[in-house]
């Protein structure tokens, strides 16, 4: 009996390794895909790597990368009309692209060594033609 159970567990383990990982990924342009992309960009920024989240407005209070971030809310938003690659033209269907507004608390270390929190708002727009996210900080 235990040999049968072990064989079944081994078979299922091997089988799950053969299933394409795209089954478990969020659908293109979905809110969960936007959350995943945003988190990835913020993690890159915190690690000091090139990213799309660090804009000039975000860097005003600190030359150091942030030490943490907390997404306060995510709501549907209007797509950014500038969400396309240089040299491309804006397709006519751009108004139908999924977009989400992220309200985020970003914590930096101040020059005095104390925590400094900045609230930022970002728009993530899924460019369906290019199959990529565009992240822009919104100025209020």
Q: What is the pLDDT of residues 8-29, one digit of tens each?
A: 555 555 544 544 444 557 799 9
Instruction: Give the up-direction half-sphere exposure of residue 29: CA atoms within 13 A in the CB hemisphere.
Output: 13
CA dihedral for 58, 64, 65, 67, sign (positive or negative): negative
Half-sphere exposure of 18 (CA within 13 A, CB side): 6
Q: What is the pLDDT of residues 105-133, one digit of tens each?
A: 999 988 888 888 999 999 999 999 999 99
CB 130 within 8 A of CB 140: no
Nearest to 124 by CA among 57, 40, 63: 40
Q: Using one digit for the tens of pLDDT, what is the confidence trace for 33-71? A: 999 999 999 999 999 898 888 865 555 545 678 999 999
């Amino acid at each position: 009996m235990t040999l049968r159970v072990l064989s079944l567990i081994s078979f299922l383990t091997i089988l799950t390794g053969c299933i394409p990982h795209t089954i478990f990924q969020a659908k293109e342009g979905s809110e969960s895909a936007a959350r995943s992309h945003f988190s990835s960009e913020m993690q890159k920024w915190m690690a000091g790597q090139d990213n799309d989240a660090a804009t000039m407005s975000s860097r005003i209070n600190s030359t150091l990368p942030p030490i943490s971030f907390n997404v306060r809310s995510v709501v549907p938003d209007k797509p950014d009309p500038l969400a396309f690659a240089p040299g491309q033209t804006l397709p006519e269907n751009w108004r139908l692209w999924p977009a989400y507004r992220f309200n985020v608390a970003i914590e930096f270390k101040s020059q005095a060594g104390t925590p400094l929190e900045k609230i930022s708002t970002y728009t993530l727009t899924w460019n369906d033609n290019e199959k990529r996210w565009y992240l822009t900080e919104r100025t209020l």
